[in-house]
Chain A
């Protein structure tokens, strides 16, 4: 048994008897051929005739699209003062015509997007207000985080230890290989570039100073923060956002849990512990990379590298880098959790919010790094 899908071309033939025009429809009048059928009927309403008969007796198949096209034509003719009638269709199509008549779609009012200067000004205004709302949201979450964290510190049993450990594992431990590798390569590249230029002045030894200061003060922590923003920030937004989408956060409210305490505090706490550790690992790997390149490229033995490093930097250089890490973790965590809580009903909004979270987090990390540089310069360290 085989029931093929046969598509017969829709056709219309017109014959005129005096002032009456008879349009004979034949073939398939279905949605598959609706575009063709609509073209056939274009202009029919403009032809000169007193009365028009739409004869469907030769139609082989008809569905809502076909019925609608016929009804639409009849209405267009009637609107021009002609008399028009549909006839000849099979009795089995009567309910279909009844339904189409009853639910005729009328004019579709399309809300066109506004253009011009007013719309531009409106957009700028909306954006400005959005920025302000964003700032308020961020401060609100910071406040809730602070109160949630202090509640946990006062009463340690309220701290969700397992959740913190879980997120520490997700954001910290599993990030170690990629961060170590990336920093190792960056350290090597800086050393190679530095050596290339410094060697021209016979200042090979200062490669160690260059790498040491640059990596420990800036590069190590900054690259780690950017990597974590992309890796864990996006995960936070997506996790919290999809929970928001599926009403899980509403369920928490109803049960009496505080979503910020359950979702944000463990994530932020874990991230603030993980990022300094990751930054330290990044520092060590970058120095190792630099040491290896110096050995291969400049012939500086590891012993000589370490001795030179001891002279070039002190513990304070390391501290300056590491002390920035918890602040950056806080920024990444706050932004990504706040964006996650903003997710609305659709999958698209989840994607948009995740993108926004990562971009904002990386941007803010760099801004804060700049502010730290200004601050450290002002206090002469």
Chain B
């Protein structure tokens, strides 16, 4: 059974790969996120926006299980991640990939070894096949072949992002989290990265959860946009729907000077 095509359940739309209900996360007294609901549909590219400090990264880290939550449920691939055995948890780990904001490549391994880490950890593959797959992923993300044996400290910012994406894709995951993938890239590099994400979605059947501040990305590749504010998801919808939503921040963001320049 291909999980991406056939899955039905009452109450949920078909094949939501990620379902968050009533999530509350906080540090100290004030909650950063409160009673937050979110659905991510299979095969879509969801762009996540919100002012600095509204908790976009906090939400992603809570979903990934890197931050404790106070209440709420998180279901990934239909599995409640709080009530699973270690083995099931490992399986979920094989089915998602994460691109951290700073890349988070292992500094003492080469790019090729970095891409092979998930393969080594979860699977037993012959060495030659791992090398071939690593090179394939490397090229797929647009890195030149000679970067395979470079160390992360020898890479430029854009190359670090691509290498990190290649590692996130090592096991052909179904769901990929991208934390500001185009920040720190030049406009041409950022546009290439957007194309790449769209192309990978078509090629590998990915579902993409992308935190971004880049209006271009939102406009060109995202199927749906979610806005985070007031400790919850304010609104989700297409770029067009954002334009008509009445909220001061959303209005300023999507109807501002920069946004108008993109649409023109």
Contacts and interface: CB of A to CB of B under 8 A. Distances in A.
A92 B205 contact: yes
A363 B122 CA distance: 43
Contact of B172 (A1, A3, A63, A72): A63
Contacts of B151: 345-346
A5 B203 contact: no
B7 A1 contact: yes
Nearest to B130: A34
Given A32-B123, A103-B139, A346-B151, A96 B78 contact: no
A95 interface: yes
A19 interface: no
Contacts of B152: 345-346
A61 B1 CA distance: 8
A345 B125 contact: no
A1 B132 contact: no
Contacts of A72: 132
B183 interface: no
B132 A108 contact: yes
A68 B129 CA distance: 9
Contacts of A78: none
Interface in B118-151: 119, 122-126, 128-129, 131-133, 135-137, 139-140, 145, 151
Interface stretch (B8-16, B24-32, B45-53): B8-16
B185 to A, nearest CB: 19
B57 interface: no
A370 B133 CA distance: 57
A35 interface: yes
Interface in B164-202: 171-172, 199, 202
B1 A104 contact: no
Contacts of B205: 92
Interface residues of A, number: 37
A34 B136 CA distance: 15
Contacts of B73: none
A103 B136 contact: yes
A6 interface: yes
A70 to B, nearest CB: 13
Given A61-B2, A96-B203, A1 B153 contact: no
B225 interface: no
A103 to B, nearest CB: 4
Contacts of A100: 136
Given A38-B126, A345-B151, A31 B140 contact: no
B204 A64 contact: yes
B61 interface: no
B264 interface: no
Interface in A1-37: 1-6, 30-32, 34-35
Contact of A3 (B15, B125, B140): B15
Contacts of B94: 5, 32
A31 B131 contact: no
Contacts of B78: 1-4
Nearest to A2: B78
Given A5-B95, A31-B133, A64-B133, A95 B107 contact: no
Nearest to B153: A345
Contacts of B230: none
Contact of A99 (B1, B7, B129, B203): B203
B200 to A, nearest CB: 9
Contacts of A35: 123-126, 129
A262 interface: no
Contacts of A68: 132-133, 136
Contacts of A108: 128, 131-132, 135
Nearest to B132: A105
A60 interface: yes
A32 B1 CA distance: 15
Interface string B62-98: 0000000000000101110000000000010011000
Nearest to B77: A3
Nearest to B131: A108
B140 A99 contact: yes
Contacts of B2: 60-61
A189 interface: no
A196 B90 CA distance: 62
A32 B17 CA distance: 20
Interface of B: 1-3, 7-9, 12, 15-17, 19, 75, 77-79, 91, 94-95, 106-108, 119, 122-126, 128-129, 131-133, 135-137, 139-140, 145, 151-154, 171-172, 199, 202-205
Interface of A: 1-6, 30-32, 34-35, 38, 60-61, 63-65, 68-69, 72, 92, 95-96, 98-100, 102-105, 108, 344-349
Q: Which 7 A-B pairs have the closest CB atoms?
A: A345-B153, A1-B9, A348-B108, A103-B139, A105-B135, A63-B172, A346-B107
